[in-house]
């Protein structure tokens, strides 16, 4: 089949990754820029897989009632697929329906990968964050890639082609004002625009030397490198702080236990735990990035029982398990472990190690529902039940969804 083959398809449901699902002659086709319930003309872009094909919407024949004018004209279906800016793949869907589709993905992931069929899964909703009614203006960090001519822009959807744009509607007003969309950066690979809570927005060109910025959550300040990780939505850090605090069962929390904050970054969630349970809270934040760990040590300095360790989580926790004596193991068994792994999830090795320590409860912050569901299934094999789950729309107009899960030892 030639790659230019076009088909009329009836779109039936949503899949993980923001792609819709259709079928043709019994074959599954994953279609971008479509909405379940629509009939579209789609161009086949990949037919090498025997089990499924991939396609891009060229024209909407029968639109969904939930279709809207795209919030970013540069990503609109009116453009040729290869010239659509990436990063707002749900921008053509009415905002409340975006959240419904994300809810469906979370529930489907739990059912398929965690083998979970319970009221906790059925009752989950995707909660909105404060912000503009149309879901724009929330992104405090934007990376623009640079093409061979030096022109900056986002990549096209599902490619590394740089697209020239005149606006960045998901970005905050300060980031949009600072974005050098008309400038040239010959010889550079990328340009970042970063807005911290203090000091306005700044440009970071290529791999320039980082400087220190300050973020604010409630009345607490966090110092970090401007090139380091911080939540992108203006209200995400506060939302996750509160969600983690509420996800911990107080009856199972022991301030003197060997509590852990894994993949801890600059200490945001360790601070959330310590703020919730008081100055005597003992908690160790573990992070592989030594620069972030250095900032975490300073950000957590007011809690005498808090510290930060540098190490890859899978190695660090394996070493902890190997060297723990009877007293250490008792403190670990009484512990609460918070983890916020990368998009790929914690994985089998880390889940096995945590399960072997037998902490009282686990609070898992996830940015990928399939990885979360897979790990929940692995934890279930080690005696942990999902007892609470919340989902948050930290990334409006994209397919991404954040979840906070509580797992309790049986």
CA 45 – CA 324 distance, rounded (Å): 53
CA 277 to mean position of chain CA atoms: 26
- In whole angstroms, what is the distance from residue 244 CA to residue 58 CA? 42
β-strand pairing of 126-127 with 306-310 = unpaired
The answer to whether 340 is a known ligand-binding residue is: yes
Query: Looking at 107, 367, 394, 404, which residue is catalytic?
Result: 367
Q: Is 368 labeled as ligand-binding? A: no
Mark whether 292 is an active-site residue.
Answer: no
Q: Residue 24, Cα to own-chain centre: how many angstroms? A: 32
Residue 179 φ then ψ, to 5°: -65, 125
Say whether 254 counts as a known binding-site residue: no
Please check if 349 is assigned to a binding site.
no
Closest CA to 191 of 208, 204, 173, 178: 204
Q: Can you tell me the distance from the alpha carbon of 220 to that of 118, in angstroms, rounded to the nearest whole number? A: 38
Question: Could you tell me the CA-to-CA distances from 65 to 17, 35, 37, 359, 370 in Å, in that order?
Answer: 22, 9, 9, 47, 28
Query: Which string of DSSP letters, residue by residue, matches 200-237?
Result: -EEEEETTPPP-EEEEEETTEEEEEETTS---SBTTHH
Residues with catalytic roles: 367
Report the binding-site residues for S-adenosyl-L-methionine. 231, 263, 287, 340
Report the binding-site residues. 231, 263, 287, 340
């Amino acid at each position: 089949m030639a790659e230019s083959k076009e088909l009329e398809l009836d779109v039936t449901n949503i899949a993980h990754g923001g792609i819709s699902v259709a079928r043709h002659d019994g074959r599954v086709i994953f279609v971008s820029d479509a909405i379940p319930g629509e009939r579209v003309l789609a161009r086949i872009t990949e037919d090498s897989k025997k089990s499924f094909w991939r396609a891009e919407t060229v024209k909407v024949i029968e639109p969904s009632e939930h279709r809207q004018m795209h919030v970013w004209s540069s990503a609109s279906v009116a453009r040729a697929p290869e010239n659509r800016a990436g990063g707002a793949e749900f921008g053509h869907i009415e905002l409340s329906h975006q959240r419904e589709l994300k809810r469906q993905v979370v529930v489907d992931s739990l059912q398929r990968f965690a083998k979970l069929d319970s009221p906790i899964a059925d009752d989950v909703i995707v909660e909105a964050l404060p912000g503009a009614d149309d879901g724009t203006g929330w992104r405090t960090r934007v990376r623009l890639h640079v093409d061979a001519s030096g022109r900056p822009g986002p990549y096209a959807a599902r490619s590394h082609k740089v697209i020239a744009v005149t606006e960045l509607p998901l970005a905050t007003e300060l980031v949009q004002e600072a974005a050098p969309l008309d400038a040239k950066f010959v010889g550079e690979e990328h340009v970042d625009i970063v807005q911290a809570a203090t000091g306005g927005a700044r440009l970071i060109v290529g791999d320039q030397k980082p400087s220190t910025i300050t973020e604010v959550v409630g009345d607490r300040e966090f110092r970090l490198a401007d090139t380091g990780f911080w939540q992108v939505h203006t209200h995400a850090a506060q939302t996750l702080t509160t969600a983690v605090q509420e996800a911990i069962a107080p009856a199972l929390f022991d301030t003197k236990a060997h509590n852990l904050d894994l993949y801890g970054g600059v200490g945001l969630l360790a601070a959330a735990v310590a703020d919730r349970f008081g100055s005597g809270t003992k908690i160790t934040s573990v992070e592989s990035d030594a620069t972030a760990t250095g900032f975490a040590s300073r950000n957590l300095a007011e809690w005498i029982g808090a510290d930060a360790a540098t190490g890859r989580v899978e190695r660090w926790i394996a070493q902890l398990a190997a060297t723990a004596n009877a007293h250490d193991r008792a403190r670990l068994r009484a512990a609460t472990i918070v983890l916020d792994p990368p998009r790929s999830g914690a994985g089998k090795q880390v889940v096995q190690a945590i399960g072997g320590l037998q902490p009282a409860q686990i609070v898992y912050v996830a940015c990928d529902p399939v990885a979360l569901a897979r790990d929940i299934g692995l934890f279930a094999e080690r005696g942990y039940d999902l007892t609470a789950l919340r989902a948050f729309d930290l990334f409006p107009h994209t397919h991404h969804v954040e979840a906070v899960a509580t797992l309790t030892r049986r």
